[in-house]
């Protein structure tokens, strides 16, 4: 009979290095005479075990014994009856929808930081090279920077913990220099646009060419493109170049509050439109690998330059509208933002819900049910 | 009656927030003003310290101000209260008042 309370030594799978003896004894022994006598000090009768409890100890002594210590670089998850090797890691056999996603290894995240910060590569290029989403690349750079600063300040790091956790969960490793990097995640996923949710029955004559560009216009209720302009565009993916060159060239439809940009084809909305063009070039010129590569590099460079220009423009706009005042001897700085309190911005009665500042005669709904009180974003 | 540019307190307990308003001097703090020309958040904010350049910045307080309306009201003789005078002097609309005391 197993003891009610486990007073014997409980093996901690995170610390197998610290106690070398625990790794040698893999069999689980709940029947320990000393612990039994300790747990039954106040009772003369033997407590009966429940069935489930007995089954638990049975399982721990047979199948479960394998999970007592993890094998480094292998997940220590329960294996369901239908689990097979190489499939997605599922820690909970009864919850098939819970998939344990892999994380970046220490080497890989340091490589990302090295490429972006020291080699000055663009986030877009690093994302394609290592197969990591652009948002994740940005997050990695910020977090590694934070880590380095904390190290410089002499703050303690939980390195052994990180190492132990990395040994037990799926991890994307950095490939050797002459090997191909395995992709951490799909990087060119198309974000779902709410406009495409509608089901539209739109009859089109067979003689008319109807492409993704036209479908986008139908979804956003924009008039069809004229035939003369249509011929200029050989393939929808060429539109990506035009849009990157001039983001203002995207048409607007609707008036007032209903104004919206025309939905662009998937070729434009995916994170890496240049990859589509690269594949098309490869298919068209299978023998001219060098020329295709050069064209791709040029396209990438042009795209990055445009993006940089846009970022700079947005930054200067933001900087110009905010005046920074740093009073001497004070503890705080002041940021003075330009605001416009006119009939357009505050409404005729000055009580428009979008008006800047707090409003008069309108209850604040900050205590209503369902109002989010915790901060939902961080101002960088 | 004097028209003043002053602060009107909004927000909750321990969470002040001010509208910079133009109002008749004798009217109550919470009454409807002639006009709202800006806001002032006295709770200092700290820039997110992800990058090293942000790490050494001092916390900041946010002011929003409609400069053209503020200039107009100053031009027609509205008198800023002392706290608003400080804010307007930082925005460069009025001369800063001399300090009434000097630290030794």
Q: Does B93 touch chain A (CB under 8 A)?
A: no
Residue A30 has pLDDT above 50, yes or no: no
Q: Which domain holds residue A263?
A: 195-320
Show me where the domains of chain B are located.
3-90
pLDDT band at A374 (very low <50, low <70, confident <90, very high): confident
In terms of CA atoms, which chain A residue is nearest residue B54? A380
Strand A252-253, strand A260-261: pairing: antiparallel
Say which DSSP state A180 is in.
P
Strand B35-45, strand A322-325: pairing: unpaired
Domain boundary residue, one of A298, A320, A342:
A320
Q: Calculate ∠ Cα B67-B71-B76, nearest 5°.
A: 150
Asked if B47 and A380 come within 8 Å (Cβ–Cβ), the reply is yes
Q: Does A379 touch chain B (CB under 8 A)?
A: yes
Asked if A357 and B58 come within 8 Å (Cβ–Cβ), the reply is no
Helix, strand or coil for residue A150? helix
Task: Tell me if the domain spanning B3-90 has CATH number 3.30.1320.10.
Answer: yes
Angle, helices A134-152/A123-130, rounded to nearest 10 degrees: 100
Same domain, A260 and A304: yes
Number of domains in chain A: 3
**What is the percent of chain A with per-residue pLDDT over 90, rounded to a whole number?**
34
Asked if B50 and A323 come within 8 Å (Cβ–Cβ), the reply is no
Asked if the structure places residue A218 within a domain, the reply is: yes
| Residue corresponding to tokens 């003075």 | A336
Residue A287 has pLDDT above 50, yes or no: yes
The pLDDT of residue B39 is: 94
> Contact at 8 Å (CB) between B62 and B41?
yes
Query: Measured between alpha carbons, how far is A120 from A90 in angstroms, rounded to an integer?
Result: 38
pLDDT band at A304 (very low <50, low <70, confident <90, very high): confident
> Contact at 8 Å (CB) between B68 and B49?
no
Structure ipTM: 0.90
Residue of A357, A358, A363 to mutate, interface with B, max B Cβ within 10 Å: A357
Greater pLDDT, A309 or A31: A309
In terms of CA atoms, which chain B residue is nearest residue A361? B32
pLDDT band at A17 (very low <50, low <70, confident <90, very high): very low
Indicate left, alpha or beta for A221 from its phi (over 0: left) and psi (-120 to 50: alpha).
Answer: left
Prediction pTM value: 0.70
- Ordered per-residue pLDDT tens for chain B, 104 residues: 899 999 999 988 899 999 999 999 999 998 888 888 999 999 998 877 666 666 678 899 999 999 999 999 999 999 999 999 999 999 999 998 887 766 66
Asked if B51 and A142 come within 8 Å (Cβ–Cβ), the reply is yes
Greater pLDDT, B29 or A75: B29
Same domain, A254 and A293: yes
Residue A218 has pLDDT above 70, yes or no: yes
């Amino acid at each position: 009979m197993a003891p009610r309370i486990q007073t014997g030594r409980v093996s901690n799978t995170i610390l197998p290095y610290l106690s070398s003896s625990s790794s040698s004894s893999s069999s689980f022994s709940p029947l320990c005479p000393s612990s039994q006598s300790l747990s039954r000090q106040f009772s003369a009768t033997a407590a009966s075990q429940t069935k489930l409890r007995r089954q638990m100890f049975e399982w721990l002594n047979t199948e479960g014994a394998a999970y007592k210590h993890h094998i480094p670089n292998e997940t220590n998850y329960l294996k369901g009856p239908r689990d097979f090797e190489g499939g997605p890691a599922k820690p909970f056999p009864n919850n098939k929808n819970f998939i344990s996603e892999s994380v970046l290894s220490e080497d890989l995240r340091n490589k990302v930081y090295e490429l972006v910060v020291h080699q000055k590569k663009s986030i877009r290029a690093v994302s394609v090279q290592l197969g990591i989403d652009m948002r994740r690349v940005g997050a990695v750079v910020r977090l590694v920077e934070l880590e380095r600063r904390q190290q410089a300040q002499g703050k303690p790091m939980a390195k052994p913990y990180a190492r132990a956790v990395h040994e037990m969960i799926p991890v994307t490793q950095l490939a050797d220099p002459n090997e191909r990097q395995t992709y951490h995640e799909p990087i060119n996923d198309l974000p779902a646009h709410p406009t495409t949710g509608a089901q539209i029955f739109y009859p089109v004559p067979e003689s008319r060419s109807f492409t993704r560009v036209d479908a986008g216009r139908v979804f956003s209720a924009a008039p069809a493109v004229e035939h003369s302009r249509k011929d200029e565009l050989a393939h929808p993916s060429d539109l990506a170049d035009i849009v990157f060159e001039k983001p203002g060239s995207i048409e607007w439809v609707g008036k007032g509050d209903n104004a919206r940009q025309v939905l662009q084809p998937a070729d434009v909305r995916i994170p890496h439109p240049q990859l589509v063009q690269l594949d098309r070039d490869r298919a068209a010129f299978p023998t001219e690998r060098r020329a295709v590569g050069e064209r791709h590099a040029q396209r990438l460079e042009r795209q990055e330059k445009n993006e940089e220009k846009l970022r700079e423009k947005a930054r200067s706009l933001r900087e110009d509208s905010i005046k920074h005042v740093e009073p001497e001897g004070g503890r705080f700085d002041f940021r003075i933002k330009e605001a416009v309190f006119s009939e357009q911005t505050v409404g005729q009665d000055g009580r428009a819900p979008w008006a800047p500042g707090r409003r008069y005669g309108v209850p604040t709904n900050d205590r209503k049910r369902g109002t989010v009180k915790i901060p939902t974003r961080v101002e960088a | 009656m004097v028209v003043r540019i002053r602060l009107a307190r909004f927000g909750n307990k321990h969470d002040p927030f001010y509208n910079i308003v133009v109002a008749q001097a004798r009217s109550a703090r919470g009454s409807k003003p002639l006009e709202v020309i800006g806001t002032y958040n006295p709770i200092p904010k700290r820039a997110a310290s992800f990058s090293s350049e942000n790490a050494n910045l001092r916390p900041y307080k946010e002011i929003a101000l409609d400069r053209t309306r503020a200039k107009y009201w100053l031009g027609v003789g509205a008198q800023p209260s002392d706290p608003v005078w400080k804010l307007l002097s930082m925005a460069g609309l009025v001369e800063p008042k001399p300090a009434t005391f000097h630290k030794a």
